Structure 1
């Protein structure tokens, strides 16, 4: 469910006034993650590495209050601030025709349930060549370009899509750990750099913590 709220009654009031008139309100942070543990879990459980990472992203986002607010364009130069009560993860899928489709996967604290939805929805997108979306969830975008090792990704900005997005290439194996640089792009109205940095720190903690898996 989502609803419009008055920006002046939120902690993002000043940011809404300042950044909604900016021609480029997006910010990108990049962090190199230690993903050794989820790679081991992927092999042990037979789960896809990207599914586990997407679940961890949803877990961190669902525990960060700024993720539940997002600016939305109404028309022309008019904007409103929306409040959500659920999180979803968007995944880009290559379909059987060689094109791309996307699907929004509802986040669940139950990783088994998330895995079931991930496999079902990505399979449908690939075979039916159709995208699916969840209009009432705050969607966190993801994009995995695993064909190459990438240091950083900066996405294009369009005012039709203000959602936060995380992007990565292939992971890097070392002698003692496996690492993965991840780029995090977010709208400055939704959060400040400090909020984003704490989110990335929480994401690393979830990836590394046995409690969550």
Structure 2
């Protein structure tokens, strides 16, 4: 497995911000938005590809564009970033009413990623343990879905979460409004890793990627 790369503190513009929110005022924040996924949903209706897998791939694609969302701490607590992060995602076992958490290596090719992740979904849907693949890798970030309900706000309360620098995404059920299909997306961020500007840019990139959904059928 690759190791996180140390960040040069002498040239890093966010050094002071990182140290402030890591040590002096450690905190996380959450934001929930409704993203227009009309084109994305339409593309999937004429495709055999799975919606959840496509959502996960789109999120992983934009997350990997920005160092702020690939942040890590070394064993000695130094600021670092992963070269690539991989999505870990929840899978519901309807019979047991429990879920499993699995992960798939990020692949910039959606077709290859879909093949592997769809197989994982099918297998994990009958899993009887929470982590059927064993421990998640340290460079995995979390995605979960609540397809049973929509929401306008979602916040996680994480005990000891001030050492968790990777983003956490929660997706809700689609909302149909004014002829558009909207997806509730909640993201939990460590303030040492990213400011509001970075999170807004991430969400804007995600909406743009889902608006140009030609990759769904690629």
Asked whether 1:92 is paired with 2:111, we answer no
SS in 1 for 2:23: coil
What is the distance in 2 between the residues matched to 1:127 and 1:61?
A: 29
Match of 2:158 in 1: 157
Matched with 1:79 is 77
Shift, 1:162, TM fit? 3.6
Question: Whose strand fraction is larger, Structure 1's or Structure 2's?
Answer: 1
Superposed CA offset, 1:142-166 (max 9, x none): 1211111211111112335442011
What's the counterpart of residue 41 of structure 1? 43
* 2:28 corresponds to which of 26, 29, 36: 26
Structure 1 unaligned regions, length at least 5: none
Aligned to 1:195: 198
TM-score of the superposed pair, with normalisation by structure 2: 0.84
Equivalent pairs, count: 208
RMSD over aligned CA atoms reads 2.3
Contiguous gaps of at least 5 residues in structure 2 = none
Matched-pair contact (CA < 8 Å) for 2:17–2:192: yes
Q: Tell whether the 8 Å contact from 1:41 to 1:47 is kept in structure 2 after alignment.
A: no
What's 1:109 paired with? 108
**Structure 1 residue 85, shift from structure 2 partner:** 1.2
Q: Structure 1 residues 91, 17: closer, same or farther in 2, change over 3 A?
A: same
1:60-79 → structure 2 map (5 Å cutoff): 60-71=62-73, 74=75, 79=77
* Distance in 1 of aligned mates of 2:125 and 2:23: 38
Deviation at 1:87, TM superposition (A): 2.0
Contact 1:172 1:179 in 2 (8 A): yes
